[in-house]
Amino acid sequence: MANNFVRRGSVVTWTNSTGNNVAAGSVVKMVHTLGVALVDIPNGASGSVAIEGVFEAPKVSAAVFSVGEKLIWDVSDGAFDDSAATPASGDVTGAAIAMRAGADGETTCVVKLTPGNSTVTP
């Protein structure tokens, strides 16, 4: 093994400075990256956040998308939207793709996190 290997990179330690407690399973925005809290993380505390994997997550009810579509994390709704939506300030595009098609009226979706592939709308 390479002598510069540190560890696998699928989980990071994140310090919650949102002003709110974050429940396990919640999507977490970390600058340009999205993750999923693996544990409850009180405001001001640190905890494990997955930045790789496939997760069920909140979905904008009206969003319609296909498997493989690049999704938008809508920060105001706290849910994933389709790529046809116009991102608003702070929204994250490209941090996840759809692993299951999304239909109008559904409020959850299945996404694959894609770290290092996203942009944040200014």
Beta bridge partners of 79: 74
Beta bridge partners of 15: 46
The confidence score (pLDDT) of residue 62 equals 98
Beta bridge partners of 74: 79
What is the rounded CA–CA span in Å between residue 117 and residue 43?
Answer: 27
The confidence score (pLDDT) of residue 3 equals 92
The confidence score (pLDDT) of residue 66 equals 98
Tens-digit pLDDT profile for residues 78-108? 999 999 999 999 999 999 999 999 999 999 9
pLDDT below 70 — which residues of the chain? 1
The confidence score (pLDDT) of residue 7 equals 87
Q: Can you tell me which residue has the tokens 């093994």?
A: 1
The confidence score (pLDDT) of residue 5 equals 87
What is the rounded CA–CA span in Å between residue 16 and residue 23?
Answer: 11
